[in-house]
């Protein structure tokens, strides 16, 4: 990343995990970018942003399935060409129209799709780089010195380049009061029987210094993200996601889909047994597992939905205990029905239940009522739709939206009946530590 030519746009899927679908990092140079926006008045009732996403994916899929080569980067057995894709959480308003609030989206993109014809792939298990797809003119040559910290100043003296870092402003008392009040209101909804769980977030704001790419490289490496990503949307805007969570990995050849929702977090320095024994965290994940099973059941072959791992405690966040966390994770697999494809999984299961709550639609309505910002790509999904028909998407948590030198970093927590507003507020602030210097 640090040696990528400045005049070439960069897209990165950072996969540094221990799971089979999260061990390969891929760097691509997008050759084309498309944005999908909310339908305008007069587009008709049939207009759907997700239909446009599918048209873009399908435009290069036909007739090219057998034309791929190279190692997987987490989206099927061959990642040669495809679309680097970011889906906004707000696409869910069109998937579940009863959620409403489409007017809140404004002119923000609901999806960003960037075309790539080849990629540079790093296998974290073997420590080796390889090339996938059409190298040709689509991938740049690295400038080995571009990322050096020491450089010459205008007078020719050797000097230290300013390190890239992000500084988040401390939330004021009003922000804390608003969030705790929202949590209290969510608990009232839960105790009244409206919903079992609600994921509530608030947005932290700050500024970055130094190079965006240098910052992204440092934070991705330090986080050890299993499903991280970095997308340069244009010259001013970028998405940096340090997500540990897989939304879905779908393989066209076998029609197999895997989802791995997360619920329950503890600092890496603590005993993971405390998380394993926590009835509250166990209940949170169990609710989301049921929701994911139902979502997959909409598009799966009858009887094929299986909970392959009810709950495991995984280590995420690299080797530094100050930044690492323990996560409760489940694995659910299914076989897609004949004739269905990647977009049908998205229609059935997006956004992830782990960032909404359960039941999903009512939880999304409560989120819309109680949150004072528009999520956008936060809590959406980022990944690759390959020309093979495969799909690999993260859940875009721990995700920063960068514009010029400004950064917005939302943080959230799952609210259940046993939650207390003060503890949930502190949990959200702890999650901002992943951006710490």
Rounded CA separation 329/334 (Å): 17
The residue whose two tokens read 């805007």 is 237
Rounded CA separation 236/182 (Å): 33
**388 contacts 252 by C-beta, under 8 angstroms:** yes
What's the chain's length in residues?
437
Q: Is 245 a catalytic residue?
A: yes
CB proximity list for 136: less than 8 A, separation 6 or greater = 117, 118
Written as six digits, the tokens of 340 are 């269905």
Write the secondary structure of the chain as one string of H (helix), E (strand) and C (coil): CCCCCCCCCCEEEECCCCCCCCCEEEEECCCEEEEECCCCCCCCCCCCHHHHHHHHHHHCCCCCHHHCCCCCCCCCCCCCCEEEEEECHHHHHHHCHHHCCHHHHCCCCCEEEEEECEEEEEECCCCEEEEEECCCCCCCCCCCCCCCCEEECCCCCEEECCCCEEEECCCCHHHHHHHHHHHHHHHHHHHCCCCCEEEEEEEEEEEEECCHHHHHHHHHHHHCCCCEEEEECCCCEEEEECCCCEEEEEECCCCEEEEECEEEEEECCCCHHHHHHCHHHHHHHHHHHHHHHHHHHCCECCCCCEEEEEEEEEEECCCCCCCCEEEEEEEEEEEECCCCCHHHHHHHHCCCHHHCEECHHHHHHHHHHHCCCCCCCCCCEEEEEECCCCEEEECCCCEEEEECCEEEEEEEEEECCCCCHHHHHHHHHHHHHHHCC
Q: Is 280 a catalytic residue?
A: no
Exactly one of 54, 245, 284, 371 is catalytic; name it: 245
Other CB atoms within 10 Å distance of the CB of residue 23 = 19
| Cα end-to-end distance, the chain, whole Å | 19
The residue whose two tokens read 């084309």 is 32
Exactly one of 263, 284, 371, 431 is catalytic; name it: 263
**201 contacts 410 by C-beta, under 8 angstroms:** yes
The residue whose two tokens read 């005993």 is 271
Q: Catalytic residue numbers?
A: 245, 263
């Amino acid at each position: 990343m640090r040696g990528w030519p400045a005049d070439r746009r960069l897209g990165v899927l950072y996969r540094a995990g221990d799971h089979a679908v999260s061990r390969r990092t891929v760097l691509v140079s997008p050759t084309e970018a498309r944005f999908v926006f909310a339908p305008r008045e007069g587009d008709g009732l049939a207009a759907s942003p997700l239909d446009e996403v599918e048209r873009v994916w399908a435009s290069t899929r036909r007739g090219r399935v057998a034309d791929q080569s190279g190692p997987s980067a987490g989206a099927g057995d061959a990642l040669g060409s495809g679309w680097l894709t970011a889906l906004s959480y707000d696409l869910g308003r069109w998937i579940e129209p009863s959620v409403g609030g489409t007017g809140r989206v404004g002119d923000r993109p609901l999806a960003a799709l960037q075309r790539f014809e080849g990629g540079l792939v790093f296998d974290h298990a073997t420590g080796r780089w390889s090339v996938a797809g059409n190298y040709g003119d689509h991938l740049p040559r690295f400038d080995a010195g571009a990322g050096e910290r020491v450089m010459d100043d205008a007078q020719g003296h050797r000097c230290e380049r300013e390190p890239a870092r992000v500084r988040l402003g401390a939330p004021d008392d009003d922000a804390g009061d608003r969030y705790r009040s929202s949590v209290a209101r969510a608990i009232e909804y839960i105790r009244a029987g409206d919903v079992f769980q609600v994921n509530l977030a608030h947005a932290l704001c700050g500024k970055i210094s130094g190079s965006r790419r240098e910052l992204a490289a440092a934070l991705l490496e330090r986080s050890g993200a299993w499903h991280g990503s970095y997308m340069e949307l244009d010259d001013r805007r970028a998405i940096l996601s340090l997500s540990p969570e897989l939304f879905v990995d779908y393989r066209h050849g076998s029609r197999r889909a895997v989802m791995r929702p997360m619920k329950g977090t503890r600092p890496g320095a603590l005993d993971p047994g405390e998380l394993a024994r926590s009835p509250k965290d166990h209940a949170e994940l169990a609710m989301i597992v049921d929701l994911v099973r139902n979502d997959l059941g909409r598009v799966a072959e009858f009887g094929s939905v299986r909970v392959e791992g009810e709950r495991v405690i995984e280590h995420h966040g690299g080797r530094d205990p100050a930044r690492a966390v323990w996560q409760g994770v489940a694995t659910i697999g299914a076989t897609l029905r004949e004739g269905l494809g990647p977009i049908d999984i998205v229609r059935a299961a997006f956004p992830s239940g782990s960032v909404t709550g359960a039941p999903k639609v009512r939880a999304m309505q409560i989120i819309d009522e109680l949150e004072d910002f528009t999520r956008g790509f936060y809590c959406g999904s980022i990944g690759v739709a390959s020309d093979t028909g495969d799909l690999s998407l993260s859940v875009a948590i721990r995700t920063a939206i960068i514009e010029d030198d400004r950064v917005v970093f939302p943080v959230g927590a799952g609210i259940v009946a046993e939650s207390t507003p003060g503890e949930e507020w502190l949990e959200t602030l702890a999650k901002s530590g992943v951006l710490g210097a």
